[in-house]
Amino acid sequence: MGKDAARYIHKEIYQRVNFLHQAAKLVLKQDPSNYGLCRYYISTMRTVAEKHVIRIHPAIKRTYCKHCNVILLSGQTCRIRSRSTSEPHTVVTCLLCGTIKRFMWRASYQLWLDKPEAWLAEKGKAQT
């Protein structure tokens, strides 16, 4: 019981974040010139997550522009290029505001969530 309560502590908020993200995607898909509504949904999603101090999963966080809150779709709202000037990486440029995201191709790189340190419960079990 206790564990279930802890697990679903913010379930509604996660559902809301998820819904808003998908709504933004859907709106942009239905009408490609409707950037405004898409931006509005993403910005509400971000404020909701901020209010509850929830971290948005990288899988979602990487799909919108950090600066102008639009969903990045390759060919429609963003340009994806790979470069290898100093170190090979991917560059995602938002076509509306020109903000750049860079993703390095580091073989050893792991997301924080995939690292064993992020999983506090297992760490706690190992210690006890």
Q: How far is the CB of 84 from other proteins (least distance, A)?
A: 26
Q: By C-alpha distance, which of 53, 11, 36 is closest to 96?
A: 36
Give 9 or 80: the residue with its C-beta nearer to other proteins: 9
Q: Which is nearer to other proteins, 62 or 88 (CB)?
A: 62
Closer CB to other proteins, 34 or 82, in the complex: 34
Q: Are 91 and 78 in contact (CB under 8 A)?
A: no
Distances (CA, A) of 103 to 49, 86, 95: 24, 13, 17
CB of 79 to other proteins, least distance (A): 15
> Which stretches of the chain bind other proteins, using CB under 8 A?
3, 6-20, 22-23, 25-27, 29-34, 36-37, 39-41, 43-44, 47-48, 50-52, 54, 57, 59-60, 67-69, 96-98, 113, 118-124, 128
Cα distances (Å, whole numbers) of residue 115 to 103, 110, 121, 123: 18, 7, 13, 11
